[in-house]
Structures are given as C-alpha cells and as structure tokens.
Amino acid sequence: MKISFLIHNAYGIGGTITTTFNLAGALAERHDVEIVSALRHREHPTFTLDPRVRLRALVDLRKEADHPLHRRPATVFPPAEYRHHQYSELTDQRIGECLETLDADVVIGTRPGLNVHIARQAPRHVLRVGQEHLTLDHHSPRLRTALRRAYRHLDVITTVTEADAAAYRRKMWLPGVHVEALPNSVPDPVLPPADGNAKIVTAAGRLVRVKRYDLLIEAFAQVAAAFPDWQLRIYGKGEEQPRLRQLIEQLGLWNNVFLMGAATPMEAEWAKASIGAAASDFEPFGMTIVEAMRCGLPVVSTDCPYGPGEIIQDGFDGRLVPVGDRDALASALLELVGDDERRRRMGRAALENARRFAPGPVVAQAERILDEAVTARTTGRRPTTPQDHRPLGPLTGHGHAARDAAHATAVGVLRTLRKGRR
C-alpha cells in the first residue's frame, strides 16, 4: 500500500510531527510511505525520521519566503484555520499540484486546513483520510462550518480519543464518512524501564499557559516542604519560561525545581525519574503521558478534556485529579512520593497498560481502518462501527498474526481496486 501523509511543517517541533513520524515509521515496515511537508524552514527535521520514510517539501521558506504568490492569501486553506496566515496562493498551488499528481493509494491529512485540501483536491481514486489532532470543540464555529462542508468529501476521519470521535458523530452531519478514534503511538523503549527509586518527578511539553506548569510548580512546593530531597524536572521550551523561572525563585524552589530545556528524544529523561506529571487545562491526547508510562512511570495528571482519562486508570497506573486543583495535585504527588511500594507497583502497571499504545496495536488498527474503508468504496459495504471492535489492549501473541491477516486482506482489495482503475 502506498501511503502519503500531508503535514504542515515536518521540520518544526510539536506533538503532531512526533506522532506522524511515529506512525509513518511503523507503517513503513509493511508499506511504501512518504511524508509531504507543506512548508520547510531548515535543512533537517528536528525529530529523527525512519530512513524508510521519504520526506519532501512543497514550499521551502529559506528560498521562497518572498515569492510573489506567497504574499497573497490562501483561498483553499480555510481562513478560520489557526495557521491560515502561514499559507498563501503559492501553498494553494503547490498542494493542489501535489494532490493532482499523487501516486498513492491513501493520503492522510494532519490538520484541518490540509484535510480541506485533501477533501477538495485529492483524486477520487485515492482514499482520503483526515486526522484530527486537536478536538472538534477546540475549533471556532466558523471553522466547524467550513469543515462540515468540506469533510463530507473525505472517506475517513480519525480522532485521537473516543470522546472526540463521539463529538464528531454527534455534532457533524457527515453521511458516508467513517469516524473512528485512532490513538497516537509511542515507539517501543530501548532503555530499561525506571525502577521507581529516583527521587525525581518529570514533566515535559511546550512551556505554554494551557499546560499549567505554574500549577505544577505550586503543587510541588508542598512536596518539597515534606520531602526536600525530591526534585521536579520540567523539559521543554516556550513563552512561559521567564514567568516560570520567576515563580520558582518566588517560592524558593531553586534547589528542587529545574527548567531543563528541550530534550529529544525524552526516553532517557523519563527513565531517570520515578513519577510523571501533567497539569494541563486541556489535552487533546496526552503524548507525554504515554511516553512516561511506556518508560515505567505512574503519571499524576489533571483529568482534563480529552485524553488523560482515556490513558490513565486512576489509582491503578496513575492518578487523575480535578483540573486547576493545586492541592489535589499536590496530594496525589505526595501519595506516590511517600509510598515506595505503591509507586513501584503503579509504575509496573503503567508499563504494562501503556503497551496498547505501542506501534504494533496502533498500526494494526490503522491498517484495519484503511482496509475497511477501501472495501467500503469497492463493495458499497459500510465499515464496521467502533463498537464492533474491542478497545486497544496490551499486545498479545495473537497481535502480529491479526495484523498479518489484515494486511493480506488489504493488499488483495487494493490490487482489485487498481485493476479497476486501469
């Protein structure tokens, strides 16, 4: 199967880039995969891409930032989309040409504006998939209206949580479009898991207000008061850094809380810790939560919309606390800091339960979704609903056999589809 991903800028930093690289690399084990980056601003990507995945860019801002067409606003990319100011008549033209000549069986968009391009411009013989990496409710009413008009021409929409998939089915009228949750995947760790002995709590992500690192620091002040030999390490960079540094100084936490800067990859840093933490007001998925759990850390997180509650099993492999509740966050952290056996037990549970986000199970689900969508187009039979499939669970010995069977079926259906095109 030939699969093309269309992404905003593969050379930047962000969760969408991470999960796209992860999924593309996992699919490349069995398929011909490329990533098409609408924009490019540097020589090499920040993140490491599987060498089996091809990468190409459509507009190189190092050379074409002053192109006359790049000074004119985009008309295909929807004006209500957050990134519209970065798109132009030039990107409209290049993306349109790319889709018109696309030699792929499947094209997958990774943000609303690019999904609109795919819905409006991808050839009919190509399976058109739109990914939602935020949430439907996150978008403005104006953008939702534009998406409702365009998305009816997609074949599949995937969300990263069941809650958001339900919102799409409930609030968008998209007859004939299959909507299903497909969680982000995290590669299998290469380092031994954390043993729960280190007196370190770790958090990671962009230093922006919605992540509420200020709340986490204030909560950790209570931990440091009771256990002064424990540290909080925060990895990432962003606009909140000066304010967070000032808060650390105000609370006298310079020996306990550290802004570590960005680290890529994060696996070695997770493995040095004993507890993961997240304090967001809003989290479409919770990539860092999964990363921490895959390294054997129980995670204390706010139970914010939408992701953490679908990842963490409260009291078993982590803790969920109310959004914005500093004292509840501190209490949950203290519970794990002060109980070595509970912390280690929950870490082992986190390691086991996070296997459902490994590449194997996620790729198997992605292949099934694509296979059923292709079958639906060739036979008229609708894809099965998500209720017909069990939620992703830990990978078992039967996982690879099931994936092999799904792949064989998909290949057969695609061969039939190609013959029909000829």
Residues near 149 by beta carbon (within 8 Å), at least 6 away in sequence: none
| Dist. CA 294–CA 407, nearest whole Å | 26
For residues 177 and 152, the answer to whether their CB atoms sit within 8 Å is yes
Ramachandran region of residue 338, left (φ > 0), alpha (ψ -120 to 50) or beta?
A: alpha
The answer to whether the 2-185+359-421 and 200-356 domains have the same CATH topology is yes
CB 287 within 8 A of CB 18: yes
Q: Which of 117-126, 355-364, 376-385 shows the lowest mean pLDDT across its residues?
A: 376-385
pLDDT of res. 386: 53
pTM for the full predicted model: 0.84
Q: What is the pLDDT of residues 12-54, one digit of tens each?
A: 988 899 999 999 999 999 999 999 999 999 999 988 999 999 9
In CATH terms, the fold of domain 2-185+359-421 is Rossmann fold (3.40.50)
Where residue 168 falls among pLDDT bands split at 50, 70, 90? very high
**Which is the CATH superfamily of the domain at 200-356?**
Glycogen Phosphorylase B; (3.40.50.2000)
Widest distance between CA atoms in the chain: 72
> Quick one: what percent of the chain has pLDDT higher than 90?
86
Mean pLDDT value across the chain: 91
CA angle 64, 67, 68 (to 5 degrees): 170
Residues 21/124, Cβ–Cβ less than 8 Å? no
Across 195-209, average pLDDT: 96
Residue extents of the structural domains in the chain: 2-185+359-421, 200-356
Inter-residue contact 137 to 159 (CB < 8 Å): no
pLDDT at 129: 98
Beta carbons of 323 and 308 less than 8 angstroms apart:
no
Q: What is the pLDDT of residue 75?
A: 97
Of the listed ranges 71-85, 251-265, 322-336, 371-385, the one predicted with least confidence:
371-385
For 276-332, write each residue's pLDDT tens digit.
999 999 999 999 999 999 999 999 999 999 999 999 999 999 999 999 999 999 999
User: By C-alpha distance, which of 73, 85, 53, 158 is closest to 115?
Assistant: 158
pLDDT of 53: 98
